[in-house]
Structure 1
Amino acid sequence: MADTIEKLRADRDLQCFFFRPSAIAALSGATATGFTVSGAWRQQFDWAVIEWNRDNVYEHPAFRYLPDGDLSGLLLTYEETRTNCIPMDSDLFPTVDWPSLRIWADDIYYVPLRNYAVPMEGSYQPAYAEFTLSGTPSGGDFIGLAFLTEHYTYQLYATDTIESAVQALADSVNAFSSLLTATRTGTTIRLSYSTTAGANGNRFGVYSYSTGGEIWDAAAKTFANGTSPTKWRVTLDFSSLTDLDGRTIPTTNIRKMRWTYAADLQAGAFERSEFQVVVSNWTVTGTNRTYSVAGPGSRRIEDHSAEIVYSGQWTDSRGNFSGGTIHYS
């Protein structure tokens, strides 16, 4: 049965690679509308990528489609859910390029996927930590909480109660913190990270300190219960993509692209974990999507054919090319 070979087709035009020897990953369940990437992480800096490449180096040279890196007329939309991978919206420093679609054209461009994504499932809920103060209040004593570079200290008056001291500390946080908000319930203070941080806030901690007869229920706690969207819809219009630096990406001659997934950050010694990325509703529309294939009556001229005359400086290299060699300048 005849079939049209098209650019960015999920079950025909993508490959999976991973960091060896520690990680392992596979592309499975691929159809025209989606695929799954799954495998295992064995160390913190493991990664896996999905790659689109202009040059088909896998099929026999006589049957390959011709290289065509012009994606400028295409619009790609898909939905993505990551499990045990660093989330798309994480604000961790990208030790590998998990927040970006990397595009190799006349330069290497980094497209921030979050800028082209909208949440489909889940929502942002702030992470929080709660501390309870107990003991006997005494004028001149100090209580306090510390978060990153922010420190909030209150010196008790002789008229203070445990409740009033905790309230004074909450008022100080609300007045001066750019990241936290505080509420009091009885003798307990709840510190909430900013709403937009979501699950990212679960990675941070707060320290407590006190002098005299007052004591906190813990010396330190980690923020918890923050949530972020779990499923995203990404829309990439290749006619108007810009990179991290605001540069317009020339998409008429792309050599390759890579989506990157990385092991989620673990506290303490890394433990082996399985991961999965489910991509669904993969849709490509637009113009100039069809590849060209040499048909009957076509003439193939190999790299060392007698009809070719090279002039100037050329380098001759061997590899998986038509005829086994390639010249480039």
Structure 2
Amino acid sequence: MLFETLKSIGELHKEPMDTVQRRLDSLSKPLGSLGRLEDIVRKLAGITGEIYPCVDKKAIVIMCSDNGVVEEGVSSCPKDVTSKVTRNFFRGITGINAFAKHTGSDIVVVDIGVDDDIDCEGLVKRKIRKGTWNIAKGPAMTRDEAIKAIEVGISVVGELAKKGVNLLGTGEMGIGNTTTSSAVSTVLTNSKAEDMVGRGAGLSDEALRKKISIVKKAIEVNSPDLNDPVDVLSKVGGFDIAGLAGCFIGASAYRIPILIDGFISATAALVAVRMEPKVQNFIFPSHGSAEPGSKKVLEALGFEPMLNLKMRVGEGTGAALAFHIFDCAVSVYRNMGTFEDAYIDKYMPQV
């Protein structure tokens, strides 16, 4: 499935983008004055092929998984928080529940590797196994497991495409996943661990130094191949990162615009883009995570964040917040009058 899906990813539709640009230029405003809102609408047209793109059916996919590296003491939270928060998504009391309600979005919770048996109604059960192995001692997973996890993301997006979802956000839940994301992104951006590792759920200075040493050790022990993103993912990544990478690949194949949330999902996006560069055309950033590695990963992807609120909640909250921007971009494009409608001469900048 993975390699066939990668081969199916096309380019952006140029003609609808040109048509959208002509309409944007005809609206009763200074040329280009809506800034990145114009970029959003034009790219939406390129993705969907629609001159009047629609983003009225939104969903946030949350990949949930445990990480064996937690046994190294890299998180201030106990491991069972992964399972507890996964259950709390269905109680409607988490941050993403509040954000999704406010934006009229669905949340799709996927158990791709939680170290627990969860049986909540609506849970998408795609468990590879109960958590990855400890990356400080060896690979997180086998290569086959990494591919299988990526394919989970592709299939989840495929199911949402059949339901008419036309805007996707990405989220995750997994104690220890800022460590795995730091390891993956350190390798893929050819950076120093010190520049990529952050405090995650709120580490002390001493614990942060230990986390950096664990990321360095994981890379040394596993020797991931910079030129093989699946190798990097399988050796120092996590099932949640792999599943999200599959979401980005699947969204590109099904031509659904998809938003990065924070550091973890940005790392997953980078994995997907390194597997197939055309995937980048279908992705949008949301906010600039407070995790230090986030900026470097977004730069590697060629993106600037839309928002900078120093958030690091995860769960897809930044992507959900950015949904408002997409609603506004589409609304102004559809509803703003043209110069002709406004009975005024077309705006001409002064020289």
TM norm. shorter chain > 0.5: no
- Structure with larger Rg: 1
| Greater relative contact order, per chain length (Cα 8 Å cut-off, separation 6+) | 1
Which one has the bigger helix percentage? 2
Q: TM-score, normalised by structure 1?
A: 0.25
Q: TM-score, normalised by structure 2?
A: 0.24
